[in-house]
Amino acid sequence: MDFSFLQKYYGFFIEGTSITLFLSFFGVVLGVVLGVILALMKLSKNILLKSFSSAYIELVRGTPLLVQLYIIYYGLPRLVGLDFNDNTLGIVAISLNSAAYVGEIIRAGILSIDKGQLEAARSLGMPHGMAMKTIIIPQAFKNILPALGNEFIVLIKESSIVSVVGIHDLMYNADTVRGNTYLPFEPLVIAALIYFTITFILSKLLSLLERRMRAGDSSI
């Protein structure tokens, strides 16, 4: 294997990595925000909110991310009649997809909390929203952290799909380097290494966070 191409093309990998990190970061943040909303909607008593959330989750889980990406990328600008920056469309597609999965994870987390917790909070005069925010969600979050971490890692890897619509992420740039250098294999090894490094660091950070959050747990 010959990696001498890196001398000339390392800039492509750096640019690609930064775009991938950018897309993933906003994908995760928006995905979590939308996921919390979807979970609360699905758990609400309002039948309209509940069915919207269920339908959304089913639809997103039941169609390929690639199809969703194409629909967003080619459909959204036409639908609203505005020109969007490519990266924005990438983030929209990724976060709308992730929100469905995060929503289900969060819903499971909320359901895992004993209902006595909510009753205790409500009996102290807390309104429902405050009880959810201060009592239920923090406990649920701790329980779902492993599943959530898994979803984040999946999201970083899946973000590589935006390369098919020409967003200059890590995967796209690795492909460009393959074309320019006529090396079919080596640039992919570099891309794989970078993806792995990102997800590995994230994975370690998450287990650190998990350990810290378990600090208050039973010492008995």
Partner 1 sequence: MIQVSNLQKKFGKLHVLKGIDSRIKQGEVVVVIGPSGSGKSTFLRCLNRLEEPSDGEIVFEGNSIIDKRNDINKLREKMGMVFQQFNLFPHMTVIENITLAPMKVKKLSKESAMDIAFGLLKRIGLEDKAYAYPSQLSGGQKQRIAIARALAMSPDVMLFDEPTSALDPEMVGEVLDVMKKLAAEGMTMVVVTHEMGFAREVGSRVLFMDEGKIVEEGSPEVVFSEPKHPRTKDFLGKVLRC
Interaction site with partner 1 (CB under 8 A) = 114, 116-117, 119-127, 130, 134-135, 138-139, 142, 216-220
Helix 137-158 × helix 6-43 angle, to 10°? 140
- By beta-carbon proximity to partner 1, the closer residue of 100 and 131 is 131
Residue type for 79, please? L
Residue located via tokens 């923090």: 138
| CB 23, min distance to partner 1, A | 33
CA-based end-to-end distance of the chain: 55
Nearer CB in complex with partner 1: 120/201: 120
Quote the least distance from Cβ 142 to partner 1, whole Å. Answer: 7
- Give whichever of 138 and 179 is closer to partner 1, judged by the CB atom: 138
For residue 146, the minimal CB distance to partner 1 (Å) is 17
Q: Which is nearer to partner 1, 131 or 190 (CB)?
A: 131
Least distance to partner 1, CB of residue 215, Å? 9
DSSP string, 19-66: HHHHHHHHHHHHHHHHHHHHHHHHHSS-HHHHHHHHHHHHHHHTS-HH
Rounded Cα–Cα distance for residues 133 and 139 (Å): 10
